[in-house]
Amino acid sequence: MNKAFIPYTPHIEIDKEEMLGRSLQFYQWANKRRTVREISNQPIPKEVIENILLTAGTAPSGANKQPWTFCVVSNPLLKEEIRKAAEAEEYKSYTERMSKEWKEDLEPLKTNWEKPFLTQAPYIIVVFKRIYEIEENKKHQNYYVQESVGLACGLLLAAIHSAGLVSVTYTPSPMNFLLKIFNRPENERPFMIIPVGFANKKAKIPNIKRKKINDIAIFYE
């Protein structure tokens, strides 16, 4: 493997005032991102999805293994198959598996076992994590897979928001049905489903608040 280094080209140096302005502007923009379950079927150019995925692929990963696979679905029949299998698991979860406390926590969000966004969204991105690699019939370890793929999904959500689109992070449990539907190799495991599209014009979101800085950070000065 080529381990040669190349010079790092940093951002243009900016003064403290502009730095403060940029950081505040970015926070205010990011704070407008919300989970939206009411997604329009309005088409999206494929190139937009490709750029979003390339952004996700810039995420840091353990030993630069980049242990992710993004399966992008626009085929209506395949989306219907995914929804049918997901709702079957969700129905069992809501009626048998979930604790009383879990259901109470979900009550303000008004979610249920039905997941119409899986067929309404023009694209569904199904994220798989690669536990290891297979090269010449040999297994090669990947490192910090969960953390790496989580970081990639975070950048993916930011890129979706930047494109003026909405999404919902969806993790049915269990979701091994995705392995069968996509016929993925033995080294991959389902990680997350992310429908992508425009918000319905009449879409509504829960009236929730995010924690303040003192609730999420401790400064040791």
- Proportion of the chain above pLDDT 70, given as a percent: 99
Q: What pLDDT was estimated at residue 83?
A: 98
pLDDT of residue 149: 98
Tens-place pLDDT, residues 119-140: 999 999 999 999 999 888 899 9
Which residue is listed with tokens 């979101």? 205
pLDDT at 3 over 90: no
Q: Please state the domain extents for the chain.
A: 37-200
Is residue 156 over pLDDT 60?
Answer: yes
Is the sign of the CA dihedral 85, 90, 96, 98 positive or negative?
positive
Assess whether pLDDT exceeds 60 at residue 1. no
pTM of the model: 0.93
Q: What share of the chain is helix, strand, coil (3-state, %, to 5)?
A: 40, 20, 40
Check residue 116 and give its pLDDT. 97
Q: Is the pLDDT of residue 51 over 90?
A: yes
Please give the mean pLDDT across all residues of the chain. Answer: 95
* pLDDT at 11 exceeding the cut of 80: no
pLDDT band, residue 216 (cuts 50/70/90): very high
Strand order across the beta sheet in which 68-73 lies: 68-73, 123-130, 188-197, 166-167
Closest residue by Cα to residue 140 from 200, 212, 67, 32: 67
Contact between 90 and 185 under an 8 Å Cβ cutoff? The reply is: no
Q: Is the pLDDT of residue 23 over 70?
A: yes
pLDDT in tens, 74-85: 999 999 999 999
Q: Which CATH number fits domain 37-200: 3.40.50.1000, 3.40.109.10, 3.40.50.360, 3.40.50.1220?
A: 3.40.109.10
